[in-house]
C-alpha cells in the first residue's frame, strides 16, 4: 500500500465523507430491496393478492400505508412482494447476458483475426438493433411471459457486454504477464478462464452493477407493455401498467409508487456500480 504523505489529511477525509453518503444511502436501498425480495411473506402486512372490494382505490391510511389498487389490494404489500420477480428477472437477465457476452468478448479478443472480425460484426449488428425488437422476435417465436422476456432482453444486452469485455481483455492482454503465461505453456482456454478473466472481473463487476439497473428498467418496461410477467404477479412494471387506469380518474398512487420504486432502485444500483468501479479501479 502506498500512502500519500503530502495530502492534507483533514480535508481529504472530510471531502471523502461528503462524497460517500450517496453511496451508503444507495447501498441501504439495495439491501432493503433484497430483504423485501427474500422475506416478502414475513415483512409484508397483507397478501399481495388479497382483494377487498369494499376498499378500492384507497388513499394512504393507517390500515393501508400506501393505499390500495383497483381490486382493493394493499399496494405496500404488492411492492414488497414485487421485489422478488423484479430483482430475480434482472439478475437472470444479467446472468444470461453476462455468460454470453463475456464468452463472445474474450473469445474475440483472444483469437483475434477472422474470429474477432466475425464476432465483432455480429455483435455490432445486434448492438444496432433496438433491444425491444429482440424481445418481440423471441416472443413471436415462443410466447409472452417472464422467461421469454428475460431471454429476449438477455440477447439484447449480450452485445454490449461482449464489446466491453473485448476491449478490456485486449487492454489486459497487452500486459506482458499474459505473454509470460503463454511462454509457460498455458493453453488458451485455461489462460482465459483461470488468469485473464479474474483480472478483468473488478472492471467488469462495476459495469455489470450499472447494467443491472438498466436491465431492471428494461424488464419493467416490457412488463408494462404486457410482454413479460402476467397478472396476478406484482412485478413493478406490471403494477405501473395496472395502476394506469387510476391515473385517468386522478388516482396516481397505484402507478406512481411502483414507478418510483423502480426509479429509486435503478439510481441506487447506478451509484453503487459507479462507486464500485472506481474503488476496484484504484486497487489496480
Partner 1 sequence: MSVLAVDKLGKTFPGRRGQQPVVAARDISFLVEAGGSLGVVGESGSGKTTVARMLVGLTSPDQGKVMVEGRETSKPERGRAARLRRAREIQMVFQDPYTSLDRRLSVESCLRDVLNRHRPELAKAQAAAEIGNLLDQVGLASKLTASRPHELSGGQRQRVAIARALAVRPRVLVLDEAVSALDVSVQAKILTLLNELRAALGIALVFVSHDLAVVGEVTDRILVMYRGDDVEQNATAELLRRPRHPYTQMLLSSAPGPGWQPERVAELRAAFALTEGRS
Residues in contact with partner 1 by the rule CB under 8 A: 1, 175-177, 179-187, 195, 198-199, 284
Rounded to a whole number of angstroms, the minimum distance from the CB of residue 278 to partner 1 is: 17
In this structure, what are the phi and psi dihedrals at residue 23, rounded to the nearest 5 degrees? -65, -45
Beta-bridge mates of residue 68: 74
Determine the Cα angle at 229 with ends 226 and 230, to 5°: 70
Question: What does the buried/exposed string (b/e) look like for 182-198 if buried means 16 or more CB atoms within 10 Å of the residue's CB?
Answer: eeeeeeeeebbeeebbe
Rounded to a whole number of angstroms, the minimum distance from the CB of residue 265 to partner 1 is: 32
Closer to partner 1 by Cβ: residue 28 or 189: 189
Rounded to a whole number of angstroms, the minimum distance from the CB of residue 109 to partner 1 is: 16
Rounded to a whole number of angstroms, the minimum distance from the CB of residue 178 to partner 1 is: 9
C-alpha cell at 207: 459495469
Closer to partner 1 by Cβ: residue 8 or 185: 185
Residue 91 contacts by C-beta under 8 Å, 6 or more apart in sequence?
A: 212
Closer to partner 1 by Cβ: residue 199 or 245: 199
What Rg value do the Cα atoms of the chain yield, rounded?
23
CB distance 64 to 57 below 8 Å:
no
Rounded to a whole number of angstroms, the minimum distance from the CB of residue 79 to partner 1 is: 41
Beta-bridge mates of residue 74: 68
Closer to partner 1 by Cβ: residue 127 or 195: 195
Alpha-carbon distance values, 85 to 137, 154, 184 (Å) = 23, 16, 47
Closer to partner 1 by Cβ: residue 130 or 198: 198
DSSP 8-state assignment for residue 74: B
Rounded to a whole number of angstroms, the minimum distance from the CB of residue 177 to partner 1 is: 5
Closer to partner 1 by Cβ: residue 141 or 183: 183
Amino acid at each position: 500500500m502506498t500512502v500519500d504523505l503530502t495530502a492534507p489529511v483533514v480535508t481529504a477525509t472530510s471531502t471523502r465523507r461528503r462524497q460517500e453518503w450517496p453511496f451508503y444511502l444507495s447501498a441501504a436501498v439495495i439491501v432493503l430491496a433484497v430483504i423485501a425480495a427474500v422475506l416478502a411473506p414475513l415483512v409484508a402486512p397483507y397478501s399481495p393478492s388479497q382483494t377487498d372490494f369494499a376498499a378500492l382505490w384507497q388513499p394512504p391510511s393507517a390500515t393501508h400505508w400506501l393505499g390500495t389498487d383497483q381490486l382493493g389490494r394493499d399496494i405496500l404489500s404488492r411492492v414488497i412482494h414485487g421485489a422478488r420477480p423484479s430483482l430475480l428477472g434482472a439478475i437472470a437477465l444479467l446472468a444470461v447476458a453476462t455468460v454470453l457476452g463475456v464468452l463472445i468478448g474474450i473469445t474475440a479478443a483472444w483469437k483475434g483475426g477472422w474470429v474477432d472480425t466475425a464476432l465483432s460484426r455480429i455483435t455490432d449488428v445486434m448492438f444496432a438493433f433496438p433491444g425491444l425488437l429482440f424481445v418481440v422476435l423471441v416472443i413471436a417465436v415462443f410466447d409472452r411471459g417472464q422467461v421469454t422476456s428475460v431471454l429476449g432482453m438477455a440477447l439484447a444486452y449480450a452485445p454490449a457486454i461482449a464489446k466491453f469485455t473485448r476491449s478490456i481483455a485486449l487492454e489486459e492482454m497487452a500486459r506482458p504477464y499474459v505473454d509470460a503465461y503463454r511462454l509457460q505453456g498455458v493453453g488458451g482456454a485455461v489462460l482465459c478462464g483461470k488468469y485473464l478473466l479474474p483480472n478483468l472481473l473488478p472492471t467488469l463487476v462495476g459495469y455489470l452493477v450499472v447494467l443491472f439497473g438498466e436491465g431492471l428498467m428494461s424488464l419493467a418496461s416490457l412488463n408494462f407493455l404486457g410482454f413479460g410477467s402476467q397478472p396476478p404477479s406484482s412485478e413493478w412494471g406490471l403494477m405501473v401498467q395496472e395502476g394506469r387506469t387510476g391515473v385517468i380518474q386522478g388516482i396516481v398512487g397505484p402507478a406512481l409508487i411502483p414507478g418510483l420504486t423502480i426509479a429509486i432502485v435503478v439510481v441506487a444500483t447506478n451509484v453503487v456500480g459507479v462507486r464500485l468501479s472506481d474503488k476496484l479501479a484504484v486497487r489496480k
